[in-house]
C-alpha cells in the first residue's frame, strides 16, 4: 500500500500526529471523516461502536460479499474498533478511563446528548484537563436551531448551495455529492482539532471545537455574502454557467461528450478566440468581460457552436496548444482510466483478506516529508476491544461480565 514517493522517504521520520490518540464516538460521516483524516497522518484512532451491529456506516451504500459496506471500508480506514454502550453507567465509567489516555474526542450527536449521558465537556475536562472535544452537529452547539436534526442534504439547502444548483427557474438539485457537507464539515473539524492541538502544545489547555454541518458550505459561497450585504443582489440558478465569467460553462462536443471550459479573464478569452480561429472577437464589442456578461447568450452560442464541430479529445488538444483551461467532464469510469489520476496515485488498491481487492481514494493532502498513509481499511466490529481494554486494566474476567451484560 505504499507509493514510490513513500518508499523514497527515510523510514525514521515520524508522522505529524504520531503519538496522539483520538477517540471517535461519532456516527455516519462528518465526525468520523474528521477522525479518519487525523488517522491518515499518524494519530491512533479508536472507534467506539455500539455492541452488536456496530456503527451505521457499516451498512450504508454498496455492500460487499463479505458483509461490509464499501463506505465503511474506505472511510473508517486506519481505525481500531471497540464496542461500548455509553448509555450505561458501566460504559460511562469505562469511557472516562479511555478519555484519560486520549488527546482528542470526536462526536456528532445532537447537542445535549453527551451531557445527558454524563459525558459533557465539563466531565471530560475533569477526567483529562487538556482534552480536546470536537463537536459536529446540524446547526452547532448554540442558537435557536441547535436541537434540530439534520443531514448533508439539509445543510446544502440551509446554507444556500442547493438554491444555486440546477437550471434557471427549475427545481433545485443535489449539488453533486449528496454527502458534500459531511466531508467539508469533517475537514473543518479536523482543521479545528489540529489548531486546538497546536494551541494545547503552547498553553497546556484543551478546548471545544464546535462545527455546524451547514457552516463549511456557508463559508464557500464566493462573494455572495458581501455582495448581498452591499447591493441586495441574490444569485439565482444558472445551470452550468457562472455569474462572473463567460464563456465559463459545460459544452457538448461532436462525439456527444461534455467538456468544462474556463475563460476567467480577457486574456483567456483572447486565447480561446485563437482556438476558434476568430481573433477579431478578442478586440471587438466582446473584448471585455463585462461586455461578454451582458451578451452571455450570444457568447455561449459562439462557444457551443464551435465546440460542437470537434470531438472531445481534438478540442482539448487544441485548447492545450493555446493554453486555454479546459477539461473533460469525467464519469467515475473515466476517472479510473485517466493517466493523471494514475500518475498521482489518487486511487489506492488494497488487498483485504476476506474482501479481495478494494480501491479507495488516496490520502490528501500530499506531504513530501511526512506523508499520510492508508494502513488498514475499516475494522470489524469490536476487533480491537481486547487490546484496548486490556491496556486500560480491564481484565479478561471483567470483560466477560461486561460482554454478558452487553456493555461491550
pLDDT tens column, 250-278? 999 999 999 999 999 999 999 999 999 99
pLDDT tens column, 49-82? 999 989 999 999 999 988 899 999 999 999 999 9
Asked, colleague to colleague, whether 4-220+346-404 and 248-337 share their fold, the answer is: no
CATH number 3.50.50.60 given to 248-337: no
- Choose the catalytic residue: 24, 85, 103, 182: 182
Give residue 11's pLDDT.
55
Give residue 2's pLDDT.
40
Residue 348 backbone phi and psi in degrees, to 5: -115, 120
Give how far Cα 392 sits from Cα of 100, 101, 385, 401, Å: 10, 9, 11, 16
Binned at pLDDT 50, 70 and 90, residue 9 comes out as very low
Please say if the pLDDT value at position 1 is more than 60. no
Q: What would the DSSP string read from start to end of 102-115?
A: -SEEEE-SPTTHHH
pLDDT tens column, 173-194? 999 989 999 999 999 999 999 9
Superfamily of domain 4-220+346-404 in CATH is: Crotonobetainyl-coa:carnitine coa-transferase; domain 1 (3.40.50.10540)
> Is there a catalytic annotation at residue 182?
yes
Give residue 363's pLDDT.
97
Domain spans, the chain: 4-220+346-404, 248-337
pLDDT tens column, 262-320? 999 999 999 999 999 999 999 999 999 999 999 999 999 999 999 999 999 999 999 99
Q: From the CB of residue 241, how many other CB atoms can be counted at a distance below 10 Å?
A: 16
> Residue range 375-392: average pLDDT?
96
Amino acid at each position: 500500500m505504499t507509493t514510490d514517493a513513500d518508499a523514497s522517504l527515510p523510514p525514521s521520520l515520524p508522522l505529524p500526529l504520531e503519538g496522539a490518540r483520538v477517540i471517535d464516538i461519532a456516527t455516519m460521516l462528518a465526525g468520523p471523516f474528521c477522525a479518519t483524516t487525523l488517522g491518515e497522518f499518524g494519530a491512533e484512532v479508536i472507534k467506539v461502536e455500539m455492541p452488536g451491529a456496530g456503527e451505521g456506516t457499516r451498512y450504508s451504500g454498496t455492500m460487499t460479499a463479505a458483509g461490509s459496506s464499501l463506505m465503511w471500508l474506505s472511510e473508517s480506514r486506519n481505525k481500531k474498533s471497540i464496542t461500548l454502550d455509553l448509555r450505561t453507567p458501566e460504559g460511562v465509567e469505562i469511557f472516562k478511563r479511555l478519555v484519560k489516555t486520549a488527546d482528542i474526542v470526536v462526536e456528532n450527536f445532537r447537542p445535549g446528548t453527551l451531557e445527558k449521558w454524563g459525558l459533557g465537556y465539563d466531565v471530560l475536562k475533569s477526567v483529562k484537563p487538556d482534552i480536546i472535544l470536537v463537536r459536529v452537529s446540524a446547526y452547532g452547539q448554540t442558537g435557536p436551531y441547535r436541537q434540530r436534526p439534520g443531514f448533508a442534504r439539509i445543510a446544502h439547502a440551509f446554507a444556500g448551495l442547493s438554491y444555486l444548483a440546477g437550471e434557471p427557474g427549475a427545481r433545485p438539485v443535489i449539488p453533486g455529492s449528496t454527502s458534500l457537507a459531511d466531508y467539508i464539515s469533517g475537514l473543518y473539524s479536523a482543521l479545528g482539532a489540529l489548531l486546538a492541538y497546536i494551541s494545547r502544545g503552547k498553553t497546556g489547555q484543551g478546548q471545544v471545537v464546535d462545527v455546524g454541518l451547514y457552516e463549511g458550505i456557508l463559508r464557500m459561497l464566493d462573494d455572495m455574502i458581501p455582495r448581498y450585504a452591499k447591493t441586495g443582489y441574490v444569485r439565482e440558478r444558472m445551470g452550468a454557467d457562472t455569474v462572473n465569467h463567460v464563456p465559463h460553462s459545460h459544452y457538448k462536443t461532436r462525439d456527444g461528450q461534455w467538456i468544462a471550459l474556463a475563460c476567467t479573464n480577457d486574456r483567456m478569452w483572447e486565447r480561446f478566440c485563437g482556438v476558434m480561429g476568430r481573433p477579431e472577437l478578442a478586440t471587438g464589442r466582446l473584448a471585455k468581460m463585462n461586455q461578454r456578461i451582458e451578451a452571455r447568450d450570444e457568447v455561449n452560442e459562439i462557444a457551443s457552436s464551435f465546440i460542437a464541430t470537434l470531438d472531445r479529445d481534438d478540442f482539448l488538444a487544441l485548447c492545450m496548444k493555446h493554453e486555454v483551461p479546459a477539461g473533460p467532464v469525467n464519469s467515475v469510469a473515466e476517472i479510473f482510466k485517466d493517466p493523471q489520476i494514475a500518475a498521482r496515485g489518487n486511487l489506492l488498491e488494497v488487498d483485504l483478506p476476506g474482501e479481495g481487492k478494494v480501491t479507495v481514494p488516496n490520502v490528501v493532502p500530499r506531504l513530501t516529508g511526512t506523508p499520510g498513509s492508508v494502513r488498514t481499511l475499516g475494522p470489524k466490529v469490536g476487533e480491537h476491544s481486547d487490546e484496548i481494554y486490556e491496556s486500560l486494566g480491564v481484565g479478561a474476567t471483567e470483560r466477560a461480565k461486561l460482554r454478558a451484560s452487553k456493555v461491550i
